[in-house]
Amino acid sequence: MVLRTSATLPRWALFVCRCTNGRPPSRNSIMSVDSSPSDTPAQRLSHIGLAWELTSVTGWGVYGTNVLRQLAVGGGPAPVLLKQPARFTPDPLDAVIFAPLLAQQQQLFAMVSQGGRVTPANLDFPVLKTLFPGFKTITAGRVFFGKPDIGVIFFENTRITPEEVSASRAYARIVAGSTWNRDVLRAHGVQGVELVLQGIDPVLFHPMPRRPFRSGTFTVFSGGKLEARKGQDIVLAAFRRFHARHPDSVLVTAWQNAWPEKTHDVAHSGLVQGVPETRADGTLDIGRWAVTNGLPAGSVLDMGWVAHKDMPRVLAACDAAVFASRNESGTNLPAMECMAMGLPTVVSANTGHLDLIGTVHEAPRVFALRDQRPVRHAPAGWGTDGWGASSVEELESVLERLYTDRDEARARGRRAAEFMCTLTWSGQVKALVDVVAGAIHP
């Protein structure tokens, strides 16, 4: 049946339908939204739901926050937030923009959880759902069903079973976050796969004057949650050699991991000893771990959890950035943001990073680690097609080049910033809306 709502609820709430026995209601129980003729399919969309957890400290959360912001202010389909944010610290202006959307989310959740029991519901507009291994979605994605559902996926494991391919058919479209992800899905027979890269916020991330935190230092930034896949063991091993020759160098890291128990594989390569201890507050003691691995105290500074809005200040203190990932399912949002700031950036030449590197016919905009070796310690049962382990020796050599040839480093940084102007969130969210519209009006 159709929920009866008060006049104070937004119009979209009138199109929520209840279902019984934990199953989505039949499609013929969903009310239709009248729309006037438009020039493009995207203009016919009135709303887009987001079964997406917003946070200020993870890639998924930052992606969702920017989708929500662009939809809220872009004049296109209105966003409907379906999941309560967590660890979310918007800036004051975003707080104003998001306030009514957060209130709507609470109202909608109350509508489907009457009597203390959550009942799945259909919505009369498309819903974007974040997908995880097996094409499964978060809790909100199992409660709210769109017309239709659109999946958004970033994955590392290239072993996709027939059962998972079958599960993918629940989505009218699946948005892949990198060319590598798209190609792997299509090779396994997944249908309706479209490519939409992430974007950058040029208000936050753009070339700006450097603001060193200490005079006379050469400061290298490295980000990403600590795990073997992100290659921090490679970075630490190469920086240890580099620092021995250049004691004026400092490694600034944003390597915290919300799941400390998942950091243990970082030592499997043998490039580093042990894993960081977990402090009483749940954060990883990266500085002490670096000392254990032969670096002087103070040569590695971990920033802890950095809110996204505060990251430009950290990057403005740096001379270069390094990302030696063995795999990137997407295009590595922190690397993109470093590039947008004109920071000379080093990336491993594998998987999602390939979208950032460009072709041999273009002037280089990053320093690509081309020596990619087979990955020896992947999770049991995983496929690792396209993964690669960067050479410590090559990264050490690139760091030396960054240190000695500042002119070339700055030139690549400028080209990187120019390239990132083509990948702003406003443009990428428009591309995402076009995919959604194409699923409804092919």
Mean pLDDT of 109-121: 88
Residue 216 in tokens? 């006379």
**Pick from 390, 386, 340, 99: nearest CA to 234:** 390
137-159 b/e with 16+ CB inside 10 Å = b? bbebbebbbbbbbbbbbbbbbbe
Could you tell me where the beta strands, DSSP code E, fall in 165-248? 173-176, 193-195, 218-223
User: Which has more confidence, 215 or 344?
Assistant: 344
Q: What's the Cα-to-Cα distance from 418 to each of 11, 141, 299, 343, 347, rounded to whole Å?
A: 41, 37, 32, 12, 17
pLDDT digits (tens, 9 = 90+) for 1-18: 233 333 233 444 444 444
Q: Residue 266: is it exposed, middle or buried by C-beta count within 10 angstroms (0-12/13-18/19+)?
A: buried
Q: Are 394 and 367 in contact (CB under 8 A)?
A: no
**Pick from 325, 324, 320, 362: nearest CA to 345:** 320
Mean pLDDT of 153-161: 97
Name 220's bridge partners.
Answer: 251, 320
Residue 361 in tokens? 């016919």
Q: Say if residue 397's pLDDT is above 50.
A: yes
pLDDT at position 115: 80
pLDDT at position 314: 97
pLDDT at position 17: 43
**Pick from 261, 417, 442: nearest CA to 343:** 417
Mean pLDDT of 32-51: 69
Q: How many helices (H) and strands (E) does the chain have?
A: 13, 18
Domain boundaries, the chain: 14-25+41-199+425-440, 218-420
Q: Mean pLDDT of all residues in the chain?
A: 90
Mean pLDDT of 315-333: 98
Mean pLDDT of 112-130: 91
Residue 53 in tokens? 């957890």
* % of the chain surpassing 90 pLDDT: 77
Q: For residues 123, 59, 90 and 111, what is the CA-based torsion angle, rounded to 10 degrees?
A: 20
pLDDT digits (tens, 9 = 90+) for 60-81: 999 999 999 999 998 889 999 9
Mean pLDDT of 362-368: 97
Mean pLDDT of 390-412: 98
Q: Say if residue 369's pLDDT is above 90.
A: yes
pLDDT digits (tens, 9 = 90+) for 159-214: 999 999 999 999 999 999 999 999 999 999 999 999 999 999 999 999 999 999 88
Could you tell me where the beta strands, DSSP code E, fall in 224-319? 249-254, 300-302
Does the domain at residues 14-25+41-199+425-440 carry the CATH identifier 3.40.50? yes
Confidence tier at 437 by pLDDT (50, 70, 90): very high
335-372 b/e with 16+ CB inside 10 Å = b? bbbbbbbbbbbbbbbbbbbbbbbbeeeeeebbbbbebb
Angle at CA of residue 250, ends 246 and 254, nearest 5°? 150
Specify the fold of 218-420: Rossmann fold (3.40.50)
Least confident of 112-116, 215-219, 270-274: 112-116
pLDDT at position 372: 98
- Count the helix, strand and coil residues of the chain and give each as a percent rounded to the nearest 5: 40, 15, 45
Counted residue by residue, the chain has a size of 442
Q: Residue 261: is it exposed, middle or buried by C-beta count within 10 angstroms (0-12/13-18/19+)?
A: exposed
Q: How many whole angstroms separate alpha carbon 171 and alpha carbon 174? A: 6
